[in-house]
Structure 1
Amino acid sequence: MTEHKRLDAEDFSNVWKDNQNTLASGLKLDLVEHLLRQRLSKELVDAKQRLIETMKFDQFDNSQEIKILDVGCGLGIDLMLVADEAIRLGKTVAIIGLDQNSTMIEEAKKLIDNQKNRLSSNISIQLIHGDLLQMEFHDDTFDIVRADLTLQHVDLPKALVEIRRVLKVHGRLIVLEAGADNIYSSDEVMLKTYDAIIPDRRDGGTAIRLQFMLPKVNFEIKSTTPIGFLNSGEFLASQDKDWNKIRGMGEIMVAKGVLSKEKSEDFQKRYIEACETNQIVTAAIIFIIEAAKFK
């Protein structure tokens, strides 16, 4: 009996690691372009602003330096949002952005250098190239750990243990993650293929898993805010310039033996046509989760 194969979380995670963004065929997945286009979604921008508000800087004493870790900091855009909020409230913050991709770190450095005139003397930002699963920080270091659409790309149980280690007692984890999303279309062949190749979503996706996992590793969930997302085919087409992302997924599926080359090409063709004729919709719920570490 032939083993049924799917892509798994590690396949998606590996793309974000150093030197993994060029596939065997030479196709380059431009991760910088991808993240910039992702921010074209007004819903996502609004969700990130609500995440900033969930950090509740106003609850910290003005004399205290608030130590913040942003895991998977990407292009550094969110680090500047954190800094803006601290400046608005007159708080002193030390922000560390951590990312496993050196290109992301370099792009974040450029952004922060270009906008350093916005920063006041009570704001410090440091960027570190490193692995979330093996962080070189002391125990009980941070008041807040942020994770924006990052935990879906890593080994979640290991990540939570490591995050808990570096958080102070009563320190808070603020997460923006998606629950199980899905796509809808009149192309039943494309949908059947899609359902057969993606990681099994019966667990509800990262945001739903977190609801059950956090209490098991000594976190108390303080709040959960769901935000609905609905994207049209036209929007999906705008997110994947030259269809590099879907073509890259196709190459990964063929290389892993998830699909034959012919089936992969057929899936890509159907997906692109569905997007270009606006005959596809994606639906998801993104959750902002606030959890506090306790002894």
Structure 2
Amino acid sequence: MTEQKRLTTEDFSNVWKDNKNTLASGLKVDFVEHLLKQRLSQEWIDAKQRVIQIMKFDQFDNSQEIKILDIGCGLGIDLMLVAEEAMRLDKTVSIIGLDQNSTMIEEAKKLYESKKVNLSSNVSIKINHGDILQMEFDDKTFDIVRSDITLQHVDLSKALMEIKRVLKVNGRLIALEGGAGGIYSPDEILIKTYDSVLPSRRDGATGIRLQFMLPKMNFDIKSLNPIPFLQSGHFLASQDKDWIKIRGMGELLVTKGVLTEDESKDFQRRYIEACETNQILAASIIFIIEAVKCK
């Protein structure tokens, strides 16, 4: 039996790469607005604060310089949160933010320039453009590698090998990644289409996969910290100005031959209508995974 063609995880990941934020039709995805709006939900605010707590700066000796790598640092907001926590506890930290998207790097550097006057002398921040699958850092460099919704966009096995390489023995990976989830609506045609064209999530997505992969790579998982997310149609609508993301997905479905143009337009119409009438829910689990690199 031939399986219906679907989009792949790589189809979605490629759009984050340099010069890929504009689709073939000319439709431009505003990553800056997308990431800023993502942070408006209380669940997201709580998750980010929880990540800071799990970094456990208070367990490091005051004389030690804590070396931290943030892969997929995005707008650089998390770099500032880490710096603020280090200053609160009077810790010495060296923080490197790494991202493959030049727009994100530019935004992160602008934020740093606007905030650096408030940083104490024991906080160092560098923001680098680079590929997390081929990082230009020496082996066993970092005490902490953190990743927030980044590993789902790359080859997970290759990324974990690189993270393991650059972590010190007993260094920690702290990853915030999505687990199993989906959307729900009384529009059965919408849900059937959604389920049939997206990448199969039978593996539970990155947050679940990490729980099986990390022990095999000689990591000891210390905590999982699951956080449920439930978002209404009205909230989903607020996250997609002018429906750019759903229109972009519709174009991708046609370009890849997954749906015809008429089928794609019907899918987009149903999704937008469901959001505007609050007849859709998005449910997911975010895992904050803390794992220690063993000897």
User: TM-score range with shorter-chain normalisation?
Assistant: over 0.9
**SS of residue matched to 2:224:** strand
- Asked if 1:201 corresponds to 2:201, the answer is yes
Instruction: State the partner residue of 1:37.
Output: 37
Question: What is the TM-score of this pair, normalised by structure 1?
Answer: 0.99
Q: Does 1:87 align with 2:87?
A: yes
Q: Secondary structure of the equivalent of 2:225?
A: strand
Compute the TM-score of the two structures, normalised by the length of structure 2.
Answer: 0.99
The 2-side partners of 1:256 and 1:124 are apart by 45
Structure 1 residue aligned with 2:239: 239
SS in 2 for 1:180: strand
Let me know the Cα RMSD of the aligned residues. Answer: 0.9
Paired position in structure 2 for 1:122 = 122
User: Matched residue of 2:207: which SS?
Assistant: helix
Q: Distance in 2 between matches of 1:33 and 1:89?
A: 32
C-alpha offsets along residues 226-248 of structure 1, whole Å, 9 cap, x if unaligned? 11110000000000011000001
Partner of 2:177: 177
Give every structure 1 segment of 4 or more consecutive aligned residues whose post-TM-superposition deviation is greater than 4 Å: none
Alpha-carbon separation, structure 2, partners of 1:249 and 1:32: 18
Matched, 1:132 2:132: yes
Q: CA deviation at 1:181?
A: 1.2
Q: Which amino acid aligns with 1:237?
A: A
Q: Which residue of 2 aligns with 1:226?
A: 226
Alpha-carbon deviations, 1:125-149, whole Å to 9, x = none?
0011000101010000000000001
Secondary structure of 2:34's counterpart equals helix
C-alpha distance in 1 between matches for 2:2 and 2:200: 18
**Hey, what does 1:289 align to over in structure 2?**
289
- Which residue identity lines up with residue 124 of structure 1 in the other structure? S
Aligned equivalent of 2:48: 48
The number of equivalent residue pairs is: 295
CA distance in 1, matches of 2:170, 2:151: 21
The residue identity in structure 2 corresponding to 1:170 is N
- Distance of 2:8 and 2:91 partners within structure 1: 41
Q: Deviations over 1:50-96 (max 9, x none)?
A: 00000000000000000000000000000000000000000000000
Q: Please give the secondary structure, in 2, of the residue aligned with 1:52.
A: helix
| Partner Cα separation in structure 2 for residue 285 and residue 2 of structure 1 | 31
Alignment of 1:53-132 (within 5 A): 53-132=53-132
C-alpha displacement at 1:2, in angstroms? 5.8
Q: State the AA in 2 paired with 1:118.
A: N
SS in 1 for 2:136: coil
For residues 251-291 of structure 1, give each alpha carbon's deviation from its aligned partner in whole angstroms, at most 9, with x where no partner exists: 11111111111111110000000000000001111111000
Offset at 1:156? 0.5
Q: CA deviation at 1:45?
A: 1.1
2:161 is matched with which residue? Answer: 161
Separation of aligned partners in 2, 1:3 and 1:206: 23
* Other-structure match for 1:266: 266
Q: Quick one: distance in 2 between partners of 1:275 and 1:255?
A: 25
Q: Distance in 2 between matches of 1:181 and 1:117?
A: 42
Deviation at 1:3, TM superposition (A): 5.2
Partner of 1:17: 17
Q: Secondary structure at the match of 2:183?
A: strand
Q: Which runs of 5+ in 2 are unaligned?
A: none
Alpha-carbon distance in structure 2 between the residues aligned to 1:7 and 1:24: 16
Whole-Å separation in 2 of the counterparts to 1:118 and 1:45: 22
What is the CA-CA distance between 1:117 and the residue it aligns to? 1.7
Q: Which residue of 2 aligns with 1:214?
A: 214
CA distance in 2, matches of 1:210, 1:2: 30
163-172 or 114-123: bigger deviation: 114-123
Unaligned runs of 5+ in 1: none
SS of equivalent residue, structure 1 residue 134: coil
In structure 2, the residue corresponding to 1:132 is in which secondary structure?
coil
